[in-house]
């Protein structure tokens, strides 16, 4: 399975199936009076064809391994989700501080002092946005 082109093709086929099968739930209409289901079905069929072609081509050509590093993307995603959830439950100041401290683990080095400085500057920027640009940030 560790073949980039094969996974790419299968990934696209999966997307096309998700949208294509979903479109069957909507009224189809006729070509002259297209319903909401017709166009997504056509587009996902086309995508299915393209995805299949990519799968076939991948099986015919050489394998290229995927370079996938789950650590960094997981850290970044966690910090963003944390930002959204904490901002909703508590306030955005806490959200920003959490984001900086969590995302920093993905960097090449970790320093609490540096994180505090970054978070401080970003909070000042956030307050400036709120005051001068009129953005409605639920900071506290």
Partner 1 sequence: MDILHNLAFGFEHALTLHNLMFCALGCVVGTLVGLLPGLGPLATISLLLPLTYSIPVSGALIMLAGIYYGAQYGDSVSAITMRIPHASSIVACIDGYQLTLKGRTGLALFTAGVSSFIGGTVAIVVLAALAPALGEVALLFGPADYCALMMLGFVCVSFVTTGSLLSGLAMCLVGVLLGQIGTDVNSGMQRYTLGLPFLVDGIGLVSIALGCFGIAEITKNLDSHEDRSPFKGKIHLIPTWAEFKRIIPSALRGSVVGSFLGILPGGGPVIAQFAAYAFDKKVSKYKHEIGSGAIEGVAGQAAADEAAARTSFIPLMSIGIPENAVMALMMAAFIIKGIQPGPNMIAGHPDLFWGLVASMWVGNCFLLILNVPMVRYWLSVFKIPYNVLFPAILFFICIGTYSVNNSLEDVLVTTGFGLVGYLFSRLDLDPPPLILGFILGPMLEENFRRALLLSRGSFGIFVTRPISGTLIALIGILIAWQIAVFFLQSQKARAVPERSA
Task: Give residues in contact with partner 1 (CB under 8 A).
Answer: 4-5, 7-8, 11-12, 15-16, 19, 22-23, 26-27, 30-36, 38-40, 43-44, 46-47, 50-51, 53-54, 57, 60, 66-69, 72-73, 76-77, 79-81, 83-84, 87-88, 96, 99-100, 103-104, 106-109, 114-115, 118, 121-122, 125-126, 129, 133-137
Q: How far is CA 113 from CA 9, 13, 117, 120, in A?
A: 46, 47, 6, 11
For the bound state, the minimum distance from the C-beta of residue 41 to partner 1, rounded and expressed in Å, comes to 10
For the bound state, the minimum distance from the C-beta of residue 17 to partner 1, rounded and expressed in Å, comes to 11
Burial class (CB in 10 A: 0-12, 13-18, 19+), 83: buried
* Tokens 């050509």, residue located: 61
Contact 58, 2 (CB under 8 A): no
Q: Which DSSP symbol is given to 66? A: -
For the bound state, the minimum distance from the C-beta of residue 63 to partner 1, rounded and expressed in Å, comes to 13
Nearer to partner 1, 57 or 63 (CB): 57
For the bound state, the minimum distance from the C-beta of residue 35 to partner 1, rounded and expressed in Å, comes to 7
Contact 87, 138 (CB under 8 A): yes
């Amino acid at each position: 399975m560790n073949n980039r082109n094969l996974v790419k093709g299968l990934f696209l086929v999966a997307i096309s199936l998700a949208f294509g099968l979903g479109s069957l739930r909507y009224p189809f209409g006729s070509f002259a009076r297209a319903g909401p289901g017709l166009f997504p079905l056509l587009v996902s069929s086309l995508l299915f064809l393209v995805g299949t072609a990519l799968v076939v081509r991948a099986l015919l050509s050489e394998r290229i391994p995927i370079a996938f590093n789950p650590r960094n993307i997981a850290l970044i995603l966690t910090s963003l989700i944390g930002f959204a959830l904490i901002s909703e439950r508590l306030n955005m100041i806490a959200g920003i501080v959490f984001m900086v401290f969590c995302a920093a683990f993905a960097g090449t080095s970790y320093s609490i002092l540096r994180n505090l400085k970054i978070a401080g500057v970003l909070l000042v920027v956030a307050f400036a946005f709120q005051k001068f640009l009129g953005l409605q940030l639920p900071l506290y």
